[in-house]
Amino acid sequence: MSKYSVNQTVLREEKYLVEALKEMGYEVEVHPAGGQLNSYYSEQEAKAANIIIRRDQLRGAYGDVGFVRQPEGQFAIVKDELDEYRGYGAKWVGRVQQSYKEKQTLAMAKAKGYTLKGREVVETSEGQQVRLQFVARR
């Protein structure tokens, strides 16, 4: 073995983020110039996002959930603070990141000539892990 690293997934590529959200069963709106998010209280400050899931698809949520493109290129999540405790907190974001990372990795590997050797889903005490193994040709 030659190297081992632990990385935090950063959501950067719209295509894979949209695909990940769709795979989770959501209909996704894409607004390149930004679309308005609806919140539970009408007097709350209006927020905009580039990728939006409407609350009618988010069971138990008070407001829409959106992803906003940051000046540095990554997406940041925008949501009603109350939804942090309604099933759309860090755990939910982690599942989005997991699906995103798998899609992004598979696409990159294919484009750069790595061969997928295997995919397995491993059950752990902290939830499912997806394990992808590739072989480098050179």
Secondary structure element (H or E) that encloses residue 18, with its range: helix 14-23
List 38, 44, 57, 105, residue binding another protein (CB under 8 A):
105
Binding to another protein, residues 69-88 (CB under 8 A): 73-74
Residue written as token pair 């942090």 = 84
Binding to another protein, residues 11-30 (CB under 8 A): 12
List 5, 25, 32, 45, residue binding another protein (CB under 8 A):
5
* Residue 43 in tokens: 């007097």
DSSP 93: H
- Contact between 67 and 49 (Cβ < 8 Å): yes
Torsion of CA 35, 41, 45, 48, to 10 degrees: -10
Q: Which stretch binds another protein (CB under 8 A): 42-50, 58-66, 76-84, 100-108?
A: 100-108
Q: Is 125 helix (H, G, I), strand (E, B) or coil?
A: coil
List 32, 46, 91, 125, residue binding another protein (CB under 8 A):
91
In order of 13, 20, 36, 41, the CA distances from 81 in angstroms are 25, 23, 17, 12
Please say which residue, 60 or 89, places its beta carbon nearer to another protein.
89
134 binds another protein (CB under 8 A): yes
List 1, 45, 46, 125, residue binding another protein (CB under 8 A):
1
Q: Which residues bind another protein (CB under 8 A)?
A: 1-10, 12, 73-74, 90-91, 93-95, 97-98, 101-102, 104-105, 108-109, 112, 114, 117, 122, 124, 126-136, 138
